[in-house]
A and B are shown apart, each in its own frame.
Chain A
Amino acid sequence: MADHEGKKILVIQTHGVETPTRTYSPLFYAMAAAAMEMEVMVWFTMNGTNQLKKGEAEKVQLDKTSDVTLKTMLKMAMESDVKLRVCQQSLELWSMKKEDLIEGVEILGATSIIDLALSYDHTMYF
């Protein structure tokens, strides 16, 4: 396995709970990168924001035979030291406030995402 320790990956997630099949993979890639000792951030914007609303991710379950939900994936990502960040402007799009967000998510503005995109080694866009 090549050594990528310390590299930085930014994952941008624009898909929300209304498209379940587009929700798991970006988190899976993020966890893979974290397992490879990279610094990883998932940035939720546009529809992706609604994944982070309390009570929503629990309803998304791709495999009905498994007890893994989107909430499980988000929790596993955070436990893997993947940072979850959400777009301030997108919160307003969904009439969400800070207290509507699941625990562990931080809010950043649009200029921050531009800074991050320029400073990270690679951006994956979903």
Chain B
Amino acid sequence: MEHEKINECVIMKDLYYSVEDNTWIRVNEDGSVTVGMTDIAQNLAGPILHAKAKSAGTDRKKGKPIATVESGKWVGPVKSPISGVITEVNEKLVGDAQLINRSPYRDGWVVKMKPESLEAELKELVTGDNAVAAYKTKIEHDNIKACTHIEGSDTYE
């Protein structure tokens, strides 16, 4: 899949991003969306120890937490980039939260959701070259250090 690396941080061009909250969504063929943390987010958090998602069936407005994530040096919410209902939680994260570090855009997804008003909310997210440009600005502005990837991480060559 097409991607770009900025300061060793991977941005997948087919995803939609909430740059401020460092989250992404993938629009699936059945109309559901998959939500996860970005490579930059996993890098800022460091090796993740626990990830606890809200239960399936939970109704979330955009910006409300869909999960909490904690590492040795950080704890915080994963904020939903869209409004909708959580339909599935990535159970693999219960026993292996570092899946988010190793595979933020694939196996380390956090929840799947049934969106409430996807068409309108997609316009508030960025994708493709716009996402790359937005992250370039953010990385420079926030002085984010080069992304590091723990052993077993996905490769993007």
Contacts and interface: CB of A to CB of B under 8 A. Distances in A.
Interface in A57-102: 63, 66, 68, 76, 80
A37 B55 contact: no
A10 interface: no
Interface of A: 1, 3, 28, 31-32, 35-37, 63, 66, 68, 76, 80
A28 B64 contact: no
Contacts of B74: 76
Interface in B100-153: none
A35 B65 contact: yes
Given A1-B54, A1-B55, A3-B58, A68 B65 contact: no
Contacts of A32: 68, 70, 75
Contacts, number: 31
B76 interface: yes
A1 B53 contact: yes
B41 interface: no
Interface residues of B, number: 15
Interface in B56-75: 58, 64-65, 67-68, 70, 73-75
Contact of A80 (B55, B58, B76): B76
A97 to B, nearest CB: 33
Contacts of A31: 75-76
